[in-house]
Amino acid sequence: MIELLSHRGIRDERVLRAMSVVDRHLFVQEPFINRAYEDSALPIGHSQTISQPYTVAYMTECLEMKEGDKVLEVGTGSGYQAVILAEMGARLFTIERHMGLLTQARKIFDKLGYQIVSKCGDGTIGWKEFAPFDRILVTAGAPEIPQPLLDQLNSGGILVIPIGDLDVQNLHVIKRVNDHFEKRETFGFKFVPLIGRKGWR
Ligand code: SAM
């Protein structure tokens, strides 16, 4: 899997290292364990998916995270992306709207010994009590950028979020520079929908 990620253009050694030490098969359901190291998204229940490894690696690279950064992830899902970020030294906060998925992810965080702060709720409004964040990563596709997430981004902070319609999204990488935002986009991703007050209804 790591060779494949390098081959597809992932250059950040810290991302490749984290993805080589975290076992992806621990985060997938029993019937899919033999496909855990393929470059594909897999079902995790509740009509949701664990993102494909390339997408996880690319989004993580886009975050340009530093050790000790306070990071908010919206869309815990299986917990795999959260553990990758924690393994890279993030102080990780993660929100999931399905309690069943969060319960399962929390079991894995505990089993692997990662200190990850999590809650069940609507991540489109961020997590005010712990804001501001150095980095925010949204792992579901939104119709537009939720204003609360921009408001909760530290100066110098980076927000990575897929934006588009329900079929296809572009990955937006937004950097806050004092009171303005610089943006770049990468085209053609496919995420499950971000559902909530500032997402899809
Ligand atoms: N990061 C996940 C992983 O590593 O497995 C990927 C999960 S999946 C692609 C996106 C997740 O976002 C789903 O579990 C979905 O339930 C969740 N989600 C959708 N809208 C949400 C919201 N408003 N707040 C929190 N989670 C949300």
pLDDT tens profile 100-120? 999 999 999 999 999 999 999
Structure confidence at residue 93 (pLDDT):
98
Average confidence score pLDDT of the chain: 97
Whether residue 37 is predicted with pLDDT greater than 90 in this model: the reply is: yes
Question: Using a 6 Å CB cutoff, which residues line ligand 1?
Answer: 48-51, 74-75, 77-78, 80-81, 95-98, 101, 122-124, 139-140, 191-192, 194-196, 199
Coil, helix or strand for 131?
coil
Residue 57 corresponds to which amino acid? A
**Is the confidence at residue 1, as pLDDT, over 90?**
yes
How many whole angstroms separate alpha carbon 138 and alpha carbon 119? 15
Residue 179, pLDDT > 90, answer no
Q: Is residue 197 part of a domain?
A: no
* 96: in domain: yes
Residue 7's domain comprises 2-189
Does the residue 141 lie in any domain? yes
Closest CA to 121 of 143, 99, 103: 99
In the chain, how many domains are there?
1
Q: How far is the CA of 102 from the centre of ligand 1 (A)?
A: 10
Instruction: Note the pLDDT of residue 111.
Output: 98
Kindly give the number of the ligand 1 atom that is closest to the alpha carbon of 196: 23
Handedness of CA 123, 166, 38, 136 (dihedral sign): negative
pLDDT band of 38, cuts 50, 70, 90: very high
DSSP letter, residue 194: -
> Is-catalytic flag, 51?
yes
The angle subtended at Cα 32 by Cα 73 and Cα 170, nearest 5°, is 40
Mean pLDDT within 56-67? 98
Which of 27, 52, 74, 125 best tests ligand 1's pocket when mutated (most atoms within 8 Å of CB)?
74
The CATH number of whichever domain residue 58 belongs to comes to: 3.40.50.150
Best mutation site among 59, 194, 197 for ligand 1 pocket (most ligand atoms within 8 Å of CB): 194
Q: What percent of the chain is predicted at pLDDT more than 70? A: 100
Q: Is residue 107 part of a domain?
A: yes
How far apart are the CA of 101 and the centre of ligand 1, in A? 9
Tell me: pLDDT of 6 over 90.
yes
Whether 195 maps to a domain, the answer reads no
Q: Is there a domain that residue 200 lies in?
A: no
Q: Give the model's pLDDT for residue 45.
A: 95
Q: What would the mean pLDDT of 56-73 be, rounded to a whole number?
A: 98
Query: Is the residue at 167 inside a domain?
Result: yes
195: CA distance to ligand 1 center in Å? Answer: 9
- Mean pLDDT value of segment 75-95: 98
Position 196 in a domain: no
Give pLDDT tens digits for 114-154.
999 999 999 999 999 999 999 999 999 999 999 999 999 99
The structure's pTM equals 0.98
Q: Which of 6, 51, 78, 118 is catalytic?
A: 51
Tokens 């908010």 identify what position?
A: 72
